[in-house]
Structure 1
Amino acid sequence: MSHTPPSRRPGRVAVVGAGPAGMAAALSAHQAGHEVTLFERHSQARPAGNILNLWPAPIKALGLLGVDTEDLGAPCQSEFRNMRGKRRVRVRLPEHVVRDYGGGFIGLLRPDLYERLLAALPPGVLRTGHALEKVEQDDHAVRLHMDDGTVHEADVLIGADGINSLVRRTLWGDSPIRPHALQLYGGYTFDRAVPAPGGLCVLTHSPTVQGAWTAIRSKGRDGFQWWVLSAHDIDRPVPDDIHRAAARLGRGFPAPLPQLIAATDPAHVQSWPLRDRKPLKQWSKGRVTLIGDAAHPTSPYAAYGAGMATEDGYFLGRRLAGVDLTDGQAVRRALHAFEAPRKPHTARQSQTAWALGKVFHHAPAPLRPLRDAVLDHTPLLQKVVGEGTPGEILKQLEEIDRAEREFTAVRDAVRNAVRNAVRDAGR
């Protein structure tokens, strides 16, 4: 790793897109000692959805980035069940992980995460109402051409601009969005009249529909989020009354799902199609890299999209610590070191989500009874989800511990170098 001499200016890092990935990257790069500018094309950083789950690894990363995670969501444990209530999967994590990070995961509202991230950003970092139109780079810098005619120059550009990323298209050209031909309806309610146990996330599958509910916590209030999803022709319009469409899909599911849907204010229901892109073989080129949905757009079936985006931002900033960003070769080495361990992890989650959507919602009708018999009477799904998911989470927690040790060592070395330089100058 190339360390920044005390006499050299801090690196200039530009981040495009103020979602979880972009805000986490801005926080981490700022902690690494660089000057950071975070561009958001909208007039404010706004979430693209309403409901959210976060696993322990992104919660740990958020805390290290200075984000307040106290009482952010409701601790939950996850189970997959069939329509008769038979448990197919239990996602188990070690007791110390559950104790330290509030359950197997926390259920929360997406706007609450944005609020906490925004509160952690240093003043002056976020610039809203700035849309990127073109990116150019050479060996010395990256130039961002904005829609107001201004040009911003940086040493490193981080593209966190979502599934339709301009930065991704600039680096690697167009690649098709992969529709899953699935439509999700999701909402939330704080109506405590619905009898539902806390501390659980229950995902239930009928032959063609997934219905799920989980506890949430928001600003001191306890409630529940829910979602239902099924196959949906991408050329068929979504019903105008999405609350009624959700209730129709949830009909026949075990309580409390239908009751939670019925108790939800229609204004708190959203619907979106499931889609992604095939994993990229490379994220970075020169002084530019991608994170979050710009690098690995992932179906909500993985319940890990925002979490992986947050992890990306954390790890990237840590890799830039102590790096002389004026040195093009040092930047390329740092970006390669960042993406190398992230690509297999994110690709695995993305492809698993794609495959699960196929298995549960696009199996031919004659094969569904056989599929359900396999899922009910063999450990296949427990191996893939119940053990695979905790394994990935534990691995990411270990990676964060390793990254934090290295970051602390680099930060201390830079501080000592500065201290020595000041002392020598005073002699």
Structure 2
Amino acid sequence: MSTRTVKPGRVAVIGAGPAGMATALSVHQAGHEVALFERYPQARPAGNILNLWPAPIKALGLLGVDTDDLGAPCKTVFRNVQGRQRVVVNLPEDIIRDYGGGFIGLLRPELYERMLAALPEGVLRTDHSVQRVEQDESGVRLHFADGSVHEADVVVGADGINSLVRRTLWGESPIRQHNLHIFGGFILDDDIAAEPGLCLIAHDRSVQASVTEIRHQGRSGFQWWLLEAHDAREPYTGDLHARATELAGRFKSPVPDLVAATDPAHVQHWPIRDRKPIKQWSKGRATLVGDAAHPTSPYAAYGAGMATEDGYFLGRRLAGVDLTDYAQVRRALQAFETPRKPHTARQSQTAYVLGQVFHHAPKPLRPVRDAILDHTPLLQKVVGEATPGEIIKQIAEIDQAEAAFDAISGTRKKADPAA
């Protein structure tokens, strides 16, 4: 069935982060009317540093986002604090060639700029704070703080870890505190003396240090982050740059050098938390994407990437669907979430477990843990082999979704960057 035979439906997306913008782009390409509501005066990134794996890069290109020179190609290596290699994340050469590396390092503001530039005029509606969402078989109604109401056929909650849509559908669920926090920063300097193309993840007995090359608006540089255990009940009030400098001193170059060279204004801090995966995302005419569905620790380095994939797949599933037909909507939303849940739950849970293993192991067990990680292939199997497998699987699923979309729409919206 061609989308030309189906009257365009109306989709409302709440939250203009990567999940919301990707959803809006994909739904628009599917031929439906879409309104993307953001409560703030502008779509703004939460944080600065970011990595993107090949699958979301592929999705972005298909959604019409300019991915040229978006980030720096990197290859991921895990080492212990003495420099002993524990893991190498190896991807097939064709994927590295086609998508700019094992993954790319960049800053969040540029991703937002690129995605915003791809949005059709009039789709994004800022300063719209949704207070209540109602639905029945006939449609959805969004009630805003100013008293206005917006009607739609489908509503998508892309509104983050504290999602109003999730609470409306499934009630309250507790935030899972990891009792960890991160200090992260970046420096843009073409002359930095650090190994290009490397994502280094290093651990001592209780702290993680990471360094990734980045590209930002045509400039080269590096991002870094340092992660340690911290009681979530006690808000951190210390000097961010000073604490990052202290933690970086445990590691070899380039970690301490990059932290020392970073402008304190470019250092951020945030606690790590998530929510346990839920068994069902969709109900009636509503569904969830991104952190609203599966908030994920930065240990996965995949939060924004999975959010982008969610938006891409949801729009493809709605192509050719009569959104006024309640039964069709329910089938489409279920078809969207069914393959997404195992993938996102795996990433979320793996990230949680890794955080616990590296930062909350009892002190007497840490030498045993480190000996296992240094002298067995355990971490290589869990991270170095499982991660590439998931990435390859997601790329294959995008290929399948795009083939089905082309068959429905009768036209290819944007050439695959790998084609």
Residue 158 of structure 1 and its aligned partner are, at CA, apart by: 0.5
| Contact preservation (8 Å) 2:3, 2:31 | no
Residue 214 of structure 1 aligns with which residue? 212
Residue 53 of structure 1 aligns with which residue? 51
Residue 419 of structure 1 aligns with which residue? none
1:180-199 to structure 2, matched below 5 A, reads 180-199=178-197
Of 125, 130, 142, the residue aligned with 1:144 is 142
Of 309, 316, 319, the residue aligned with 1:318 is 316
Residue 26 of structure 1 aligns with which residue? 24
Q: CA separation in 1, counterparts of 2:324 and 2:250?
A: 61
| Contact preservation (8 Å) 2:132, 2:143 | yes
Is 2:37 the partner of 1:39? yes
One-letter identity of the residue aligned with 1:338:
F
Residue 199 of structure 2 aligns with which residue? 201
Residue 149 of structure 1 and its aligned partner are, at CA, apart by: 0.5
Residue 422 of structure 1 aligns with which residue? none
Residue 240 of structure 2 aligns with which residue? 242
Is 2:296 the partner of 1:303? no
Residue 197 of structure 1 and its aligned partner are, at CA, apart by: 1.1
Bigger Rg over Cα? 1
Residue 345 of structure 2 aligns with which residue? 347
Q: CA separation in 2, counterparts of 1:45 and 1:238?
A: 27
> Structure 2 vs 1, CA of residues 354 and 170 (structure 1 numbering), >3 Å: closer, same or farther?
same
Of 63, 66, 71, the residue aligned with 2:64 is 66
Residue 413 of structure 1 and its aligned partner are, at CA, apart by: 9.0
Residue 333 of structure 2 aligns with which residue? 335
SS at match of 1:107: strand
TM (norm. structure 1) is 0.95
| Contact preservation (8 Å) 1:4, 1:324 | no
1:9-408 to structure 2, matched below 5 A, reads 9-408=7-406
SS at match of 2:60: helix
One-letter identity of the residue aligned with 2:42:
Q
Post-superposition CA distance 1:205-238 (Å, at most 9, x none) = 0000000101000111110000000000112231
Q: CA separation in 2, counterparts of 1:94 and 1:311?
A: 20
Q: CA separation in 2, counterparts of 1:342 and 1:313?
A: 11
| Contact preservation (8 Å) 2:190, 2:219 | no
> Structure 2 vs 1, CA of residues 368 and 227 (structure 1 numbering), >3 Å: closer, same or farther?
same
Residue 3 of structure 1 and its aligned partner are, at CA, apart by: 6.4
SS at match of 2:410: helix
SS at match of 2:250: coil
Contiguous gaps of at least 5 residues in structure 2: 413-419
One-letter identity of the residue aligned with 2:96:
V
| Contact preservation (8 Å) 1:97, 1:103 | yes
SS at match of 1:60: helix
SS at match of 2:179: strand
Post-superposition CA distance 1:309-362 (Å, at most 9, x none) = 000000000000000000000000000000000000000000000000000000
Q: CA separation in 2, counterparts of 1:67 and 1:108?
A: 15
Residue 194 of structure 1 and its aligned partner are, at CA, apart by: 3.7
SS at match of 2:407: helix
Superposed CA RMSD: 1.4
One-letter identity of the residue aligned with 1:391:
G
Contiguous gaps of at least 5 residues in structure 1: 415-427
> Structure 2 vs 1, CA of residues 190 and 388 (structure 1 numbering), >3 Å: closer, same or farther?
same
SS at match of 2:105: strand
SS at match of 1:215: strand
| Contact preservation (8 Å) 2:229, 2:359 | yes
One-letter identity of the residue aligned with 2:212:
T
Q: CA separation in 2, counterparts of 1:194 and 1:346?
A: 36
| Contact preservation (8 Å) 1:194, 1:259 | no
SS at match of 1:275: strand
| Contact preservation (8 Å) 2:192, 2:221 | no
Residue 4 of structure 1 and its aligned partner are, at CA, apart by: 5.6
Post-superposition CA distance 1:83-122 (Å, at most 9, x none) = 1111000000000000000000000000000000000000
User: Quick one: percent identity of the two aligned structures?
Assistant: 71
One-letter identity of the residue aligned with 1:130:
H
Q: CA separation in 1, counterparts of 2:245 and 2:191?
A: 18
SS at match of 1:217: strand
Q: CA separation in 2, counterparts of 1:129 and 1:36?
A: 17
One-letter identity of the residue aligned with 1:393:
I
| Contact preservation (8 Å) 2:2, 2:410 | no
> Structure 2 vs 1, CA of residues 335 and 3 (structure 1 numbering), >3 Å: closer, same or farther?
farther
SS at match of 1:273: strand
Count, aligned residues: 413
